[in-house]
A and B are shown apart, each in its own frame.
Chain A
């Protein structure tokens, strides 16, 4: 028994816990998102060919560049390596139409990182989803370049891609129906021919770059939920609510699209799995996440059916982002061993204390 063998070279002294789940890091979460986006990106390239590559590539490059420059201006360590700017770029790029001119992508990316993220204090501090801030910015600035007409893919080899997006068609039909230009039965027949479920699932359909293929998006989305990088409560909330309200809308003839067609067309799936699940801009509790998802689902349907826009995921997400602090406040869990009655009593005591303070002579004499 010698004493030398108990003298280690360096001893770490740290507060507990001394164990951590190292398989689970911020970086790993970001890589998960990249992996999950791969099928949708691949499908975008298949459908839109080079347009997808240049659009997404440009957004990613500008986002990372802007992030690097702005973090440098703030005197911070470069945060480009955490991949969050790249993800913002990909999501922004995938949410644009194929025809968006280069300056739309650039302005959108600058707005996403600058206005959406850095002004709030960088990663983890932003209130609104950066990619959606960027998209909303360009959508309002360049209404023509991003309007329904921008989506018509004139150079496609497949006939279906030269048409308007499914939701634009639905919107048009709904408007025509209301104006009495078409007969209800006719409209539905035509729609079915153009937008049967299988086409929508696979993605041989027009739309924003990343939103066309429901299968590719579901694949990536389910992967994210299994890895628990995305909280399943958010997409679950979105789908359940959207389905319920779209069913209602279909039932009272507000839309010619069948509920299932609604669910898998447009960017509902993309938004539910990839945009709404941004942890920074969604609530922290499971209940809160579900409520957040429900809010998005409802707003998407409301915008689709009642507004001038054919699609509403972007505004729905932004609106619900604004409600997140409120949802967080509503869904504070009751700690173990804290009873409702007790909390009420404590609240009373607190208020009582404040009343006493207000009535204290020193404070009253001031008036």
Chain B
């Protein structure tokens, strides 16, 4: 592996990308708080990429945390679980931040919860996490545990994790990358997890290594998180886990970018990381995998960053899946008068919301509230063909051409310039001096090509 030898000597990164104002200081220093159990949660039956779940509980049933609420039938699917003790109600339709309408199961919280506050934290992240003797778990057993626990990628895309971990004889895995980049501005959920609970991250990484048969495990963290690097290094001492410091740049945490940055390999178009012998999992997913395998507990809670200049007290919260955004924002002191935009996720790839009555899903990494000043844009001007969008595109596309094709309705041109390869990271629109809605136009182009 000569590539690794070269890359080990300097900080790795990828070609293209931008440096948006990080704004991580808003929530970076606030330790994860356990949210008091909300009065009600709303568990959507589709929280992942893949087939929706089928309802597994009747209305007015008493459920305990961890009970299956929605069953997964297909292979690319993941069950959903009750995150509170309480009684279910009739299924209601709910709109998720990405605009999908999905059925959701409301659970009214019981008066007392089995675990609350610190006890809940201890149950999820506390205690000892083994780094040795993990060979007792068979690879298939680990994948099955991930599936039973309803594990999906917690970085945002929410791809069912067991699909990545299921042993595949045709395509052997050489390297497991654990993604701790958290390149999206404002968000600090992964950062706090790496600092406060590095144990389960390392255990989960080793379990994923066991499941995939990878020979190498590399935890990738950007150099703007020295504390997290230190914490992970300490926890990984003695274990066969490398920690790789990456040069901070957005979108380093993008799967294809991370593979290019860390290993210098290109995931082929239409392919998966396993085509180049790599599996990438997020640090949060790794921690949840450790819990699922070692403690047989499903994914019911996650860390969510509530941040931005519009929130009175930015915080990192450990919340039950299904909690409404409104509850989270209330817990952070509410919105201040400057609020102009509420975003599910971070400002680069998140969805702006028209309502706070949406549930946190497994893939919700944060809520960013921006002020009028943050969202101010100069008027759109003509494209000057300056080529900055081309310089920053991490997929090496020509955003200006794609936007032109979309505006003109030229399907052929859009296809010739590989519109479908765009991952909508937003770098082009971020730098565009003319303020063109490049990502929006490219999305339009993608629809045209289909």
Contacts and interface: CB of A to CB of B under 8 A. Distances in A.
A20 B377 CA distance: 8
Contacts of A228: 388
Instruction: Decide if the interface of chain A is mainly helix, strand, loop or mixed.
Output: loop
B161 to A, nearest CB: 23
Residue of B267, B343, B370 contacting most chain A CB atoms (<10 Å): B343
A13 interface: yes
Given A6-B356, A337-B268, A25 B387 contact: no
A342 B275 CA distance: 15
A279 B335 CA distance: 43
Interface residues of A, number: 51
A19 B421 CA distance: 22
B341 A12 contact: yes
B260 interface: yes
B242 interface: no
Interface string B418-430: 1001001110011
A16 B424 contact: yes
Contacts of A334: 396
Given A11-B354, A17-B426, A338-B269, A25 B435 contact: yes
A21 B432 CA distance: 8
A122 interface: yes
Contacts of B162: none
B329 to A, nearest CB: 5
A29 interface: yes
Contacts of A337: 256, 266-269, 271, 395, 421
A22 B443 CA distance: 23
B101 interface: no
Interface in B123-141: none
A124 B390 contact: no
Contacts of A124: 381-385, 434
Interface string A18-50: 111110111111000000000000000000000
B247 to A, nearest CB: 18
Contacts of B347: 16-19
A120 to B, nearest CB: 11
Contacts of B331: 1
Interface in B380-415: 381-388, 390-391, 394-398, 400-401
Nearest to B369: A8
A123 B337 CA distance: 39
Interface string A332-356: 1111111100100000000000000
B439 interface: yes
A125 B337 CA distance: 42
A365 interface: no
Given A26-B381, A283-B387, A286-B387, A18 B375 contact: yes
Contact of B430 (A12, A19, A286, A333): A19
A366 B384 CA distance: 46
B269 A342 contact: yes
Nearest to B427: A17
B437 interface: yes
A16 B433 contact: no
A9 to B, nearest CB: 7
A25 B443 contact: no
B384 A26 contact: yes
A285 interface: yes
Given A11-B340, A284-B400, A342-B268, A6 B326 contact: yes
Nearest to B18: A21
Nearest to B352: A13
B431 A21 contact: yes
B205 to A, nearest CB: 25
A289 interface: yes
B340 A335 contact: no
A21 B430 contact: yes
A107 to B, nearest CB: 26
Contacts of A338: 268-269, 418, 421
Given A11-B353, A17-B426, A285-B387, A6 B21 contact: no
Given A6-B329, A16-B426, A279-B384, A22 B376 contact: yes
Nearest to A82: B381
B20 interface: yes
A15 interface: yes
Interface in A36-90: 82
B106 interface: no
A8 B384 contact: no
B163 interface: no
A283 B398 CA distance: 12
A231 B21 contact: no
B303 interface: no
A280 interface: yes
A231 B388 CA distance: 9
Interface of A: 1-3, 5-6, 8-22, 24-29, 82, 122-125, 228, 231, 279-280, 282-286, 288-289, 332-339, 342
Interface of B: 18, 20-21, 185, 256, 260, 266-269, 271, 310, 326, 329-331, 333-335, 337, 339-343, 347-354, 356, 368, 370, 374-378, 381-388, 390-391, 394-398, 400-401, 417-418, 421, 424-426, 429-435, 437, 439-440, 443
Report the 4 A-B pairs with minimum CB-CB distance, sorted nearest first.
Answer: A17-B426, A5-B334, A124-B382, A284-B387
15 contacts: A1-B331, A11-B354, A13-B352, A16-B349, A17-B425, A17-B439, A19-B185, A19-B348, A20-B435, A123-B381, A124-B383, A231-B386, A279-B386, A284-B390, A336-B396
Given A18-B375, A22-B376, 16 more contacts: A2-B334, A5-B334, A11-B340, A12-B352, A14-B341, A15-B440, A17-B347, A17-B426, A18-B350, A20-B435, A21-B18, A122-B382, A288-B387, A334-B396, A337-B256, A337-B271
